Amino acid sequence: MLFIYIFIILLAAFPLLLTAWRMRKEARLKKTGVYTNGVITHINTIRTRPGGTLDILTIEYKDRLTGQPYNATATVTYQKFKVGDIMEVIYMPGKPSTYAIDTQKGYLIILIFCSILFLFVIFAVYKINELAQFK
C-alpha cells in the first residue's frame, strides 16, 4: 500500500516540479538572454470549448549576430495584437531558436494551482491511510 501512496504523491508532484523547472528556465533565459524585437507575421484564432477565443501568434525575430530569421509562437488573448505589431522576444545567445516571450504572471497562477493540488493529494493520502488503518 505504501508504494501506491508514494506513486500518487509523485504523480501530483510532477506538474508542480515541471512548472518550477520551466519558471527557472525562463528566469535564466531572461537573465542571460538577448532581447530583441519581433514582428507578428500571422495570427491564428482558435475557439475554446466554453465559448472563449484565443489567438496564436507567429512572431518573426532575427538573430543579432547572423541576421538569420527565426519564428516564435505565443498564445494570447483574442484580438490583443494585430499583424505587424512589435513584440519583445528573448533568445539564448548561442541558440537563437530557444526563445521566451514575457508571460508576465502566467506561471505564477499555474504554480499556485499545482501547489494547492499537491497539498490536497497529500491530505487525501493521509486520510485514506487513516481510514485503512481503522479497519
- DSSP H helices, the chain, are 2-32, 106-134
> What distance in Å separates the CA atoms of residue 35 and residue 92, rounded to the nearest whole number?
9
Contact 69, 54 (CB under 8 A): no
pLDDT at 105: 67
pLDDT for res 2: 87
Phi, psi of 70, rounded to the nearest 5 degrees: -135, 155
Q: What is the pLDDT of residues 17-66, one digit of tens each?
A: 999 998 898 888 888 999 999 999 999 999 988 888 999 999 999 998 88
Q: Can you give the pLDDT at residue 103?
A: 60
**pLDDT band (50, 70, 90) for residue 134:** confident
Using one digit for the tens of pLDDT, what is the confidence trace for 78-122? Answer: 888 999 999 999 999 888 888 888 766 678 889 999 999 999 999
The pLDDT assigned to 49 comes to 83
DSSP 3-state of 73: strand
Grid cell locating 56: 496564436
Cα Rg of the chain (Å, integer): 21
Residue 60, SS3? strand
| Strand 34-47, strand 53-62: pairing | antiparallel
CA distance 79 to 7: 43
Q: Per-residue confidence at 135, pLDDT binned at 50, 70, 90? A: low
